[in-house]
Amino acid sequence: MNPTIGKEIPRLFESTNAFSEIRTQQKIINLGKKHGKSGEESLQFYTRGLNSIKGFITTSMNVMPEHYDALVETVSIEAERYTTYFDQYRICAHKKM
């Protein structure tokens, strides 16, 4: 998730007046095998996300599918080689009755 959007979600929840006790927690998730099982699974999750938009990207941007596959493979290799991470936001709230 875009960090800018993640920081705005509590304000959006408050604006609906439907939630109380809104809490957010930002956590940095490292990608790749060198960060253990969670890093390996996080990288798999990330690449699955990239693969899920393959059809849209290849069609709308006129990219050849094999070039997109090569790009995703390069992202995976570089995530393993370098310190790569993404921000995760956990948002908890109570719905007002």
Query: What is the residue extent of each domain of the chain?
Result: 3-95
CA distances from 33 to 30, 42, 55, 57, 69 (A): 9, 9, 28, 27, 21
Mean pLDDT of 8-14: 86
CA pair distance 14, 21, nearest whole angstrom? 9
Instruction: Report the pLDDT value the prediction gives residue 40, as an integer from 0 to 100.
Output: 92
CA atoms of 97 and 46, how far apart (whole Å): 36
- What is d(CA 7, CA 19) in angstroms, rounded to the nearest whole number? 16
Which token pair is 50? 């990239």
Over range 50-68, report the average pLDDT. 95
Handedness of CA 10, 44, 33, 79 (dihedral sign): negative
Q: What is the pLDDT of residue 86?
A: 80
- Does 6 score more than 80 pLDDT? no
Residue 3's pLDDT is what? 60
Give the amino acid at 18: A
Confidence at 2, pLDDT banded by 50, 70, 90? low
